[in-house]
């Protein structure tokens, strides 16, 4: 254990952040880069306040925040120490005592609680990445299907004519050639929009953030589906929304629950209706119409996150939700990243022209626009190579989905249920009532397979009995072997708790 006095802790340069945040950052980075080790005593409040020439209360506030995050612990009369155990992303931190899966949303969390929660989730999921482990976490496209040299060829094409067009700011709405290519791609997939309705964003994540900014200015309440990709809830919270969760139930977004929760307030509702993350469900047309009716009757706005829609490998696509929504209050979020490579960070938001005009101001304030060269690469890809690439991905995902379904049938204990997605990269597995996907996750880590337990898909830590099974990577054989290992983990968890093998949950 080091003693405190000699500790080289420097307050970072003034970056405009409040002093207590800079103090917090100085200690946090010393812990993160190992200068302060578990068990080390941190210099006292008085000592640090004198060294940094700040008020003692400033240091105290930083200590309290680090304690709340589980990084420090204070002992009366002895001092403050770096906690010996890494703030564990322990199951109990993530899961409320009641493991109800469809319970009412918990009390709203503060942005600070959300941040800490997010960090814990990330640390927790990182523990699953062991060499030799089969990754069934999923949710992102596989790099295996991208032909060698494709990115280089696209970059060359992007630069081959008039490279000067890419030297300056491309504007907050994006390069005209990419806006046009996106409109053409959507039209081929059945949604007619004008290039003027398209804003190019840094990933569809930024598209959601833009809607959150718009909705805040409009004074709208935010309603986000659960389970969900938690980045969505986070994007709304970032813009000051106190997000209300609306559950999916039995394969559809629960519009009745939305109506009840909104109670006549003007709102914005977010859904991912095609191959939903994390369940793989596709919202039936009736549920789409019901959501559109809510928007019409209650002056509601809706975000249709279509990032997985191009990934259908089976069955007929239902009408796009966007096309059913009332003009002026509808948004379509899409992503070239999700169909190609997530590192490209090219997404888009589609809205009606007057709304696009409103959105360009917050967009300008966020980052002035997306990188021009990357946009030109994406435009070259959409016009030449996208169709073939997506077709290859669909076939690869179908083969992996089939391998997962076969292995689930063969190996899973009785009482376990799963969805049968018609596209996308992921399915949702539900354990016999009361069994915990956190236990399965931990057991799976030891057996060399990683899944995303249900609470990862909900900022309120619900959906404990379910988990996301991603089948977007590896060969069908890898997926089959991963599901077999997983079945072993489920079996072990169920036998430990002596669960009855027939208490299924409908999915």
Ligand X SMILES: Cc1ncc(COP(=O)(O)O)c(C=O)c1O
Rg (CA), the chain: 24
- Pick between residue 205 and residue 261 the one whose CB is nearest to ligand X: 205
Residue with smaller CB distance to ligand X, 171 or 234: 234
Give 135 or 305: the residue with its C-beta nearer to ligand X: 305
Closer Cβ to ligand X, 229 or 381, answer by number: 229
Question: Minimum distance from CB of 118 to ligand X (Å)?
Answer: 14
Tell me the C-alpha distance between 205 and 307, whole Å. Answer: 10
Which stretches of the chain bind ligand X, using CB under 6 A? 139, 203-205, 229, 231, 272, 277, 305, 307, 335, 337-338, 342, 347
CB closer to ligand X out of 89 and 273: 273
Residues in the chain: 507
Q: Tell me the β-bridge partners of 75.
A: 79
Minimum distance from residue 359 beta carbon to ligand X (Å): 17
Closest residue to ligand X in the complex (CB): 203
Query: What's the min distance (Å) between Cβ of 227 and ligand X?
Result: 11
- Rounded to a whole number of angstroms, the minimum distance from the CB of residue 278 to ligand X is 8
**3-class DSSP state of 262:** helix
As measured in angstroms, the least distance from the Cβ of 225 to ligand X is 10
Percentages of the chain per state (helix, strand, coil), in multiples of 5: 45, 15, 40
- Give least dist CB 371 to ligand X, A: 15
* Mode of pairing for the β-strands spanning 221-226 and 267-271: parallel
Q: How far is the CB of 345 from ligand X (least distance, A)?
A: 7
Provide the minimum distance between the beta carbon of 210 and ligand X in the complex, in angstroms, as a whole number: 12
For ligand X, the closer of residues 30 and 346 by Cβ is 346
Buried b (16+ CB within 10 A) or exposed e, 363-399: beeeeebbbbbbbbbbbbbbbebbeebbeebbebbbe
Q: List strand residue ranges (DSSP E) for 251-343, in order.
A: 252-253, 267-271, 301-305, 330-335
Neighbours of 359 (CB within 10 A): 23
- Residue 304 zone, left/alpha/beta (φ > 0; ψ -120 to 50; rest): beta
Instruction: Decide whether 228 or 430 has the Cβ nearer to ligand X.
Output: 228
Q: Considering the complex, what minimum distance in angstroms separates the CB of residue 119 from ligand X? A: 18
Inter-axis angle of helices 45-52 and 56-68, to 10 degrees?
A: 120
Nearer to ligand X, 65 or 345 (CB): 345
Measured CA to CA, the distance from residue 213 to residue 235 in angstroms comes to 9
Cβ-proximal residues to 261 (8 Å cutoff; 6+ apart), any chain: 223, 244, 246
In the complex with ligand X, which residue's Cβ is closer, 81 or 467? 467
List all residues 6 or more positions away from 263 whose beta carbon is below 8 Å from its beta carbon. none
Give min distance, CB of 470 to ligand X, in A.
10
Partners of 410 in the β-ladder: none
The answer to whether 42 and 84 are in contact (CB under 8 A) is: no
Minimum CB distance to ligand X smaller for 96 or for 371 = 371
């Amino acid at each position: 254990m080091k003693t405190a006095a000699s500790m080289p802790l420097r307050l970072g340069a003034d970056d405009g952040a409040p002093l207590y945040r800079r103090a917090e950052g100085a200690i946090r980075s010393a812990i993160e880069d190992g200068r302060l080790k578990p068990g080390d005593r941190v210099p006292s409040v008085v000592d640090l306040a004198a060294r940094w020439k700040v008020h003692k209360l400033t240091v105290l506030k930083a200590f309290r925040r680090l304690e709340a995050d589980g990084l420090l612990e204070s002992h009366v009369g002895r001092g403050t120490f770096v906690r010996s155990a890494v703030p564990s992303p322990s199951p109990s931190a993530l899961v409320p005592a009641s493991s109800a899966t469809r319970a009412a949303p918990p009390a709203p969390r503060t942005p600070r609680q959300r941040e800490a929660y997010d960090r814990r989730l990330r640390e927790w999921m990182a523990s699953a990445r062991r060499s030799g482990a089969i990754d069934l976490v999923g949710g992102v496209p596989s790099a295996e299907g991208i032909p060698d040299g494709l990115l280089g060829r696209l970059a060359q094409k992007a630069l081959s004519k008039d490279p000067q067009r890419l030297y300056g700011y491309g504007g907050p709405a994006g390069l005209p050639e990419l806006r046009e290519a996106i409109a053409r791609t959507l039209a081929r997939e059945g949604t007619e929009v004008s290039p003027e309705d398209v804003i190019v964003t840094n990933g569809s994540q930024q598209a959601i953030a833009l809607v959150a900014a718009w909705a805040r200015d409009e004074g709208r309440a935010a309603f986000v589906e659960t389970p969900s990709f938690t980045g969505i809830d986070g994007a709304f919270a970032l813009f000051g929304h106190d997000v209300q969760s609306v559950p999916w139930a039995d394969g559809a977004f629960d519009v009745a629950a939305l109506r009840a929760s909104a109670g006549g307030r003007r709102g914005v509702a977010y859904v991912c209706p095609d191959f939903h993350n994390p369940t793989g469900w596709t919202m039936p047309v009736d549920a789409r119409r019901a959501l559109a009716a809510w928007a019409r009757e209650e002056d509601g706005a809706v975000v249709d996150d279509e990032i997985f829609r191009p990934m259908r490998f089976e069955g007929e696509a239902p009408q796009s939700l966007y096309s059913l929504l009332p003009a002026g209050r509808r948004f379509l979020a899409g992503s070239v990243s999700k169909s190609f490579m997530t590192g490209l960070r090219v997404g888009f938001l589609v809205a009606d022209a007057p709304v696009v005009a409103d959105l360009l101001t917050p967009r300008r304030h966020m980052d002035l626009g997306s990188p021009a060269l990357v946009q030109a690469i994406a435009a070259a890809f959409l016009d030449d190579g996208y169709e073939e690439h997506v077709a290859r991905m669909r076939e690869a995902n179908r083969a992996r989905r089939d391998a997962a379904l076969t292995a689930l049938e063969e190996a899973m204990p009785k009482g376990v249920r799963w969805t049968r997605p018609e596209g996308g990269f992921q399915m949702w597995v539900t354990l016999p009532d009361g069994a915990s996907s956190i236990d399965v996750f931990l057991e799976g880590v030891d057996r060399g397979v990683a899944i995303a337990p249900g609470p990862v898909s909900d900022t309120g830590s619900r959906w404990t009995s379910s988990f996301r099974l991603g089948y977007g990577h590896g060969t069908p054989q890898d997926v089959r072997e991963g599901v077999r290992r997983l079945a072993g983990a489920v079996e072990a968890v169920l036998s430990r708790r002596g669960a009855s093998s027939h208490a299924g949950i409908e999915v």
